[in-house]
Amino acid sequence: MWNSIALCSVCKPSPNTVSLLLPRLLPLTHIFRRMCKGFSSKRLMQIAQNRACSTLPGRLAGSKAKRSRCAQHYPLLDGRVLSVHRHVFEENFRNSEAVIKRYSELLQVVSKGGGENAILRHTQRNKKLFVRERLKLLLDDESFLELSPLAGLSMPYGDVPAAGCLTGIGKICGIWCVFVANDATVKGGTIYPIGVKKQLRAQEIAMQNRLVSVYLVDSGGAFLPLQSELFPDKLHGGRIFYNEAIISAMKIPQVAVVCGSCVAGGAYVPTMAEEAVIVDKIGTLFLAGPPLVRAATGEYVSPEDLGGATLHSRVSGCSDHFASSEKEAYECVRNIISTLNYEPVPEELVEHDHPLYSSDELLGLAPQDYRCTLPVKLVLSRLLDGSRFQEFKADYGTTLVTGFGHVEGHLVGVVANNGELSHDAALKGSHFVQLCSHRAIPILFFQNTAPHAAEPTSISQAEAQANRLKAQASMMAAVACAAVPKITIVIGGCFGSESYAMCGRSFSPNFLFLWPNARVALVDSRHLSVVPQAGDSGCTDESELKHLKQKLEEESSAFYSSARLWDDGVILPQNTRKVIAQCLQIIEQQKYQVLPPYQYPVMRM
Ligand code: COA
C-alpha cells in the first residue's frame, strides 16, 4: 500500500479516479443496531462533568460498598521506614529526584513536537491546530492517560518527538477511548518505524481492553528514507490497516477525523474506520498528491479538487461527515460516540480509604540499585486503600509477596518481588496467580527482579537452581495463561528471566509502566565482571569489559526502554496509584458495553 505512488504513476489515472480508488471497505449497518437506546450527548456530557477522573465505575454501588466494608477487615500494613533503613531511603530519594528531573526535561522536549518553527508553520501557514490543542477539544478533560510520550527519542535515525504521533486513553462523553493523533509538526506527520510500533500498540490496547478508537489523521504517509524498516514486514505499516479490519470485526468502533493530509498508505486509516469526519480546507485524502499526479498525467490539480472535504463528502463517499472547522469536527466525533449505544458507567462514587502513608515517600523506596531495595510492603502500604492487605502464604517463599488489596475500591491481587524469585517464591506465585485467575481478579505485578542468578558452587546448589528453574517455569505458565487483566509496574529492576514470571512485556500485560529509576536489561552492568566469549569460559579484557558495561548502562535506563516502546511509559512513583486506578477503570469499562464482547480466541496477533 505504501508504494501506491508507483502504481499511480504507471496507471496514469485522472485526479478524480485517484480519489475514487479509495473504496469504503466496511459495511456499517451493525454499529447502528439498538441505537434507540442511545444516550444524548448532552446527558453524557453531564455525566462526564460530574465525574472526576479518579472516580470509579461500579455496576452495583451497593455490592462495591459491601466489598469496601470487607476490605476494612484486611490487616494493616506497617509502612514505617525504620531508622536502620533511613540511609538507603535517603540515597534512593536523591536518585529519584535526579531521574525525575531528567524525565521532566525530556517531557518538555516532547511537548514542543517538531519545534517552534514547525509549530508556527503548522498553525499560521497551514491553519491547523497543534495536536495537543486538538486533544483538548476532543476529550472531556485534560486528565487523559498519555501512552509512551518518550517514544522515539534518541533513535538511531534521530529524535522523533513522541514518535510523531500522540497515543493515549481519554474520555469522550464519559467513555474511555484510545486516541491516535499524528503530530504533523514532526516531519509532516510522516510515519517512522517507531511511529508504526506506537500505533500498533495503541490498537493492541484497544483490542485487549475493547476500547473505542479515535484516529486524528494528519500525515504525509511513510517516512520514505526508512521505507524498508516500515513497509515490508508483518508488523510494519500494513498491520495498522489489518488491525482496523480485525477491530471492526470485533465490533469495537473506530472513528477517524481527517484533519490534515492523508497521503498514500495513510489514506487507508480513515477509509477503513467505521465513521470518518473530514475538515474543510484542511483535510485531504489521496493515494498520490498533486505533484505526483502532475508527474504521472501532466494535469495540474489542487489538493482540494483532488481529495478535499467536498469531494470526499459528496462524490467519493470516503468521508461520512463534512465539518467546516476543526472545532466542528471534534464536536461531530462527540456526537458519533454518543450513538455507539454504550451504557455510560454509573455515576455513583465508591467510598474508599486513602493509604495511611504519603505517596511522596515512594521516591525513597524506588531502588537506585537492586542492593538498595527496601521491603516491598513499604511500597504496597503507600498504594493500597487504607494500607490494608490480605496476605497469602505470608511465611512461605517470602522473597515474593502475594495477597489481596484494593486500589480506589477495585479488588486486586498483588504479586510483588521482595528479593530473588526462589523456588518457594515461584511456586507461591504460580499458586496465587491461578487463584486470581479462578476468581476473575485483576493482578498487579510490582517488578524488581534480581540482576543476575548466583553462580552454583556445588552440586547441591546446581540441583537447587534446577528446581528453581522448574518452579519459575511453572509460574511463567500460570502468568501466561491467567485469563484476567494484568498490570505490571517496574519499580526497580527488570532483569533476565525472572522478569518473564513477573509479567514482563513479552507476557502481554494489559499495561506496563516503569518508574524513572527502573533498569531494564538481561543483566545489570554493575554486576558484570567478565565478558562471555564463545568457546571460552570468559575473559577479563579490561577495555572490552568497560565498553560492554558502558553499553549496558546506557541501554538499561528507563528512558532508553520507553523510547523504544518496551513499555507504555514512564510514570512518577507518586502518581502510580492514580495510574493503576485509571487502568482498572479503563479495563472495567467493557462491562458496560451493550453489545456482547467478541470472543478473544479470534484475536490474531
Ligand atoms: N518522507 C520523508 N519526509 C517527508 C515526507 C515523506 N513522505 N513528507 C514530508 N516530509 C518532510 C519534508 O521534507 C519536510 O522536511 P524538512 O522540515 O526537513 O524540510 C517536512 O516533512 C515537512 O514537509 P513540508 O512539505 O514542508 O510540510 P507541509 O506541511 O507543507 O506538507 C505534507 C506536509 C505531508 C502534506 C507534504 O510534505 C507532502 O505532501 N509530502 C509528501 C507525502 C507523500 O507523497 N507521501 C508518500 C508516502 S508513501
| Res 31 pLDDT > 80 | no
Note the pLDDT of residue 530.
66
Note the pLDDT of residue 390.
98
Note the pLDDT of residue 593.
73
Using 50, 70 and 90 to split pLDDT, how confident is the model at 377? Answer: very high
**Who contacts 63 (Cβ-Cβ below 8 Å, separation ≥6)?**
none
Determine the atom of ligand 1 nearest the C-alpha atom of 3.
48
Q: Cα–Cα distance between 178 and 480 in angstroms, integer?
A: 25
Note the pLDDT of residue 595.
58
Please indicate whether residue 185, judged by its CB atom, sits closer than 6 Å to ligand 1: no
Determine the atom of ligand 1 nearest the C-alpha atom of 189.
34
| Res 89 pLDDT > 70 | yes
Report the nearest-CA residue for atom 3 of ligand 1: 223
Average pLDDT (208-235) is 96
Using 50, 70 and 90 to split pLDDT, how confident is the model at 71? Answer: confident
pLDDT digits (tens, 9 = 90+) for 445-465: 999 998 877 777 899 889 988
Note the pLDDT of residue 455.
76
Using 50, 70 and 90 to split pLDDT, how confident is the model at 537? Answer: low
Using 50, 70 and 90 to split pLDDT, how confident is the model at 602? Answer: very low
Please indicate whether residue 2, judged by its CB atom, sits closer than 6 Å to ligand 1: yes
Note the pLDDT of residue 391.
98
Determine the atom of ligand 1 nearest the C-alpha atom of 292.
44
Using 50, 70 and 90 to split pLDDT, how confident is the model at 540? Answer: low
Distances (CA, A) of 511 to 169, 487, 497: 12, 5, 19
| Res 37 pLDDT > 50 | no
Please indicate whether residue 221, judged by its CB atom, sits closer than 6 Å to ligand 1: yes
Q: Do 183 and 189 contact (CB within 8 A), yes or no?
A: yes
Average pLDDT (559-587) is 97
pLDDT digits (tens, 9 = 90+) for 177-219: 999 999 999 999 999 999 999 999 999 999 999 999 999 999 9
Note the pLDDT of residue 534.
54
Determine the atom of ligand 1 nearest the C-alpha atom of 222.
47
Please indicate whether residue 222, judged by its CB atom, sits closer than 6 Å to ligand 1: yes
Phi-psi region of 162 (alpha: psi -120 to 50; beta: other; left: phi over 0): left
Determine the atom of ligand 1 nearest the C-alpha atom of 220.
34
Average pLDDT (133-151) is 94
Query: DSSP letters along 47-94, please?
Result: HHHH--TT----S-HHHHHHHHHHHTTSPBP--PPPGGGHHHHHHHHH
Note the pLDDT of residue 600.
38
Report the nearest-CA residue for atom 39 of ligand 1: 220
Please indicate whether residue 264, judged by its CB atom, sits closer than 6 Å to ligand 1: yes
| Res 21 pLDDT > 90 | no
pLDDT digits (tens, 9 = 90+) for 43-57: 333 333 333 233 333
| Res 67 pLDDT > 60 | no
Please indicate whether residue 220, judged by its CB atom, sits closer than 6 Å to ligand 1: yes
Note the pLDDT of residue 604.
39
Average pLDDT (219-234) is 95
Using 50, 70 and 90 to split pLDDT, how confident is the model at 58? Answer: very low
Note the pLDDT of residue 61.
35
What is the phi/psi pair of residue 528, to 5°? -90, 125
Q: Cα–Cα distance between 203 and 195 in angstroms, integer?
A: 12
Average pLDDT (321-328) is 98
Pocket probe mutation, ligand 1, options 190, 219, 226, 281, max atoms within 8 Å of Cβ: 190
Average pLDDT (538-564) is 88
pLDDT digits (tens, 9 = 90+) for 267-276: 999 999 999 9
Using 50, 70 and 90 to split pLDDT, how confident is the model at 255? Answer: very high
Q: What percent of the chain stands above pLDDT 90?
A: 74
Please indicate whether residue 128, judged by its CB atom, sits closer than 6 Å to ligand 1: no
Note the pLDDT of residue 13.
36
Q: Cα–Cα distance between 575 and 586 in angstroms, integer?
A: 17
**Who contacts 301 (Cβ-Cβ below 8 Å, separation ≥6)?**
15, 290, 293, 294
Residue found by looking up cell 449505544 in the block: 341
Pocket probe mutation, ligand 1, options 127, 128, 187, 286, max atoms within 8 Å of Cβ: 187
**Who contacts 565 (Cβ-Cβ below 8 Å, separation ≥6)?**
148, 151, 163, 194, 197, 198, 201
Pocket probe mutation, ligand 1, options 9, 261, 306, max atoms within 8 Å of Cβ: 261
Q: Do 279 and 256 contact (CB within 8 A), yes or no?
A: no
Note the pLDDT of residue 528.
74
Please indicate whether residue 289, judged by its CB atom, sits closer than 6 Å to ligand 1: yes
Please indicate whether residue 223, judged by its CB atom, sits closer than 6 Å to ligand 1: yes
Q: Do 563 and 514 contact (CB within 8 A), yes or no?
A: no
Distance from residue 188's CA to the centre of ligand 1 (Å): 5
Q: What percent of the chain stands above pLDDT 70?
A: 83
What is the model's pTM?
Answer: 0.87
Note the pLDDT of residue 417.
98
Distance from residue 187's CA to the centre of ligand 1 (Å): 6
- Hey, which residues does 300 pair with through a beta bridge? none
Note the pLDDT of residue 69.
57
Distance from residue 159's CA to the centre of ligand 1 (Å): 17
Report the nearest-CA residue for atom 42 of ligand 1: 220
